[in-house]
Amino acid sequence: MIIGEISSVAEQFGVATEQAERDHLISHLLAFLSRDFGDQIHFIGGTALARTHLPNGRLSEDIDLVAVDDRKAVAVGLDAALPRALARTHGRLTVDPALGSISDTSGAILRTSEGLTVRMQLLSSRTRTVWPTERRAVVQR
């Protein structure tokens, strides 16, 4: 996204430029997650609603996911894949702490080489009510 587009999105939503940049980073992360982990996770929370049903409501802050099966296996896979997932657009990502090393009630911070951050939480489906799901297109910004 070019600087003019980021400024336009920030103005449209009445937020700081950094928030619009974070939202754009989330767009890239969601595309990666959908492509590489879509059959292993469900996308939940406010960002899920904002990106699928209410795209003009607000910009995204974080990413909340539920592991469909074994959370630990999904977490280890994400930890291995995320650092290089956005190398072309955002450089190498760091994941701190590693998703595989924390409980599902904790979140990890993903940080770009330029210092932009996004919080990601990966919940286990074992102790949660499984709600109906649907595949939806995700609005990219």
Q: What confidence score (pLDDT) does residue 46 get?
A: 86
Whether residue 114 has pLDDT greater than 90: yes
Q: Note every long-range contact of 53-56, with CB atoms under 8 Å and residues 24 or more positions apart, other chains counting.
A: 53/136, 55/139
Specify the pTM. Answer: 0.89
Cα–Cα distance measured from residue 101 to residue 104, given in angstroms and rounded to the nearest whole number: 10
Return the number of other C-beta atoms located less than 10 Å from residue 79's C-beta. 17
Question: What are the structural domains, with CATH classification, of the chain?
Answer: 3-124 (3.30.460)
Beta strand extents in 20-80 (DSSP E only):
41-44, 62-67
Q: What confidence score (pLDDT) does residue 101 get?
A: 98
Q: How confident is the model over 53-108, as pLDDT tens digits?
A: 888 888 888 999 999 999 999 999 999 999 999 999 999 999 999 999 999 999 99
Spell out the residues 6+ positions from residue 54 whose beta carbon is closer than 8 angstroms to its own.
none
Q: How confident is the model over 20-62, as pLDDT tens digits?
A: 999 999 999 999 999 999 999 999 988 888 888 888 888 888 9
- 3-state DSSP assignment of residue 112: coil
Q: What confidence score (pLDDT) does residue 1 get?
A: 57
Q: What confidence score (pLDDT) does residue 128 get?
A: 75
